[in-house]
Amino acid sequence: MRKANTKRRSGCPLNASVEMLGDRWSLLVIRDMMLLGRRTFKEFLGSYERPATNVLADRLRRLAAYGIIRTERDPTDGRKLIYQLTPKGIDLAPVLTELVLWAGRHEKTENRALIRLMQKDKEKFLAQIRQRCEQPRK
C-alpha cells in the first residue's frame, strides 16, 4: 500500500522537493536513468553505490507515485520492466546539474569530464539530455 497523498509538512516549494527527493537514493536512480541510460531493476542495482533490493523497490515505487518515472513491460521479455523518466522527471535535469556542479566546485570527486562539460555550456548540456530522454529508445 503506497501513500503518495500523505500530507505535506508545509506548502513551501523547497519542502515539496525535499519530501520527494530528499533521501540517499532517489536522485542517484534518476542520475542512472538520465545520464547512464539505465532502465531496469537489475541495471539500477549495478550502480556504484549498490542500493539494497528492498530500498530500490521502494524508491522506484515512490518515484512512480510522484509521477517522476513510469513503468512498462519490456515487449521482448515479459520478465523485465522498463522504467523511464516522465517529463516531470526529465525536468529534474537542472537540479542534477547544479548538484553536480556544486560538488565539483567544493569536493574532490571523480568524473571531472562530466563537470567540465556542464560548465562549458550548461544550456547545451541540458538540451542534449532532454533530447536523449524524450524520444523513445530504438
Residue 55 interface partner, choices DNA, a second copy, none, CB cut-off 5-8 Å depending on type? DNA
- Count the residues in the chain: 138
Task: Report how many residues bind a second copy under the rule CB under 8 A.
Answer: 45
- Looking at residue 1, the DSSP 8-state letter turns out to be -
Residue 78 interface partner, choices DNA, a second copy, none, CB cut-off 5-8 Å depending on type? DNA
Q: Distance (Å, rounded) from C-alpha 80 to C-alpha 69?
A: 16
Binding mask 62-81 for DNA (x = CB under 7 A): ---------x-----xxxxx
3-state secondary structure of 74: strand
Q: Could you tell me how far CA 53 lies from the centroid of its own chain?
A: 17
Residue 4 interface partner, choices DNA, a second copy, none, CB cut-off 5-8 Å depending on type? none
> Residue 14 Cβ, how far from a second copy at the closest point, in Å?
5
Q: Which residues in 2-135 belong to E strands, given as ranges?
A: 69-74, 77-85
Residue 52 contacts a second copy per CB under 8 A: no
